[in-house]
Amino acid sequence: MVDITHKINTLRSATATAIVKVSQQATIDAIVNNLVPKGNVMEMAKTAGLFAVKNTHLSIPDCHPIPIEFTAVEYKIEGLTIEIIFKVKTVYKTGVEVEAMHGASIVALTMYDMLKPIDKEIEISTIKLINKEGGKSSFKNRFPSTIKAAVFVCSDSIFAGDKEDRSGKIIVEKLESCGVETTHYEIIPDEVDVIQERTKVYAKENQLVIFTGGTGLSPRDVTPEALAPLLESRIPGIEEAVRNYGQQRMPYAMLSRTVAGTLGKTLVLALPGSTNGARESMDAIFPHVLHVFHILKGNNHDAK
């Protein structure tokens, strides 16, 4: 199966349809009047679909076990055609479109099985996805111009050349994948005056300024102390999202002091300096955090 451990939970939904076509009006009448020998076709088929959607991963190898939290089955009869409409919802890391189509197909097959004693020419067709919501396509941020970012690695040892930077490069790669241009990348010592000076200068030229490193509990880790006096507004939700995401993967994440806030119309972030900490922090909030720039510009209604 595809690795989805880096993804975050969002509300996911999908709607799929399937078509069952019978060969005679008598079949439709039997369904509507509950006269089919095998029982109530619509209720039995619906029940089969509900069982099926919760067990999709047992039939399709690459499907993940998903906590199905809502299902609904509707029918529309037009002439000799029965349209099955199957809706599924969950709060999870991956979508439910295959689950919805699986449910619709099993409803159709169950109807076929129940109706075949009275109609030998039933057809099943057009099993398809109608819509899905909650994934990447639902949270795209569109901007008239490219978001620009400055990335700083706060580390005395890397600045001295004793170690190689990895976390900063991970952040730059993630930004690029989100369509953000890194205009400046620099390794600096973990010193309050240096951090503050870089923040003031580059916040004027970039919408995003990211520091990695210096967020631990050591007396040498001063990034939060350097940034706090400069920020005009803290954004606790971003800090909580980073910490919660990390905590679900590694218990020591609770010791990191992530910082997020604004300086003018610039978002300033201080993220952990470890390789995994930087990667997980970026996965936790990007690209969704870019929505902040719509809010800062007063264009919240344009973000979709």
Provide the annotated active-site residues.
113
Cβ-Cβ contacts under 8 Å for 31 (sequence gap 6 or more): 41, 42, 77, 82, 115
* Tokens 């994440």 -> residue: 253
| 3-state secondary structure (DSSP) of residue 197 | helix
Assign residue 112 a region: left if phi > 0, alpha if psi is -120 to 50, beta otherwise? alpha
Helix/strand/coil for 85: strand
DSSP 3-state percent helix, strand, coil across the chain (nearest 5): 40, 25, 35
> Which 3-state string (H, E, C) describes 99-135?
HHHHHHHHHHHHHHHHHCCCCCCCEEEEEEEEEEECC
CA distance linking residue 192 with residue 186, whole number of Å: 16
Under 8 Å between Cβ of 160 and 138: no
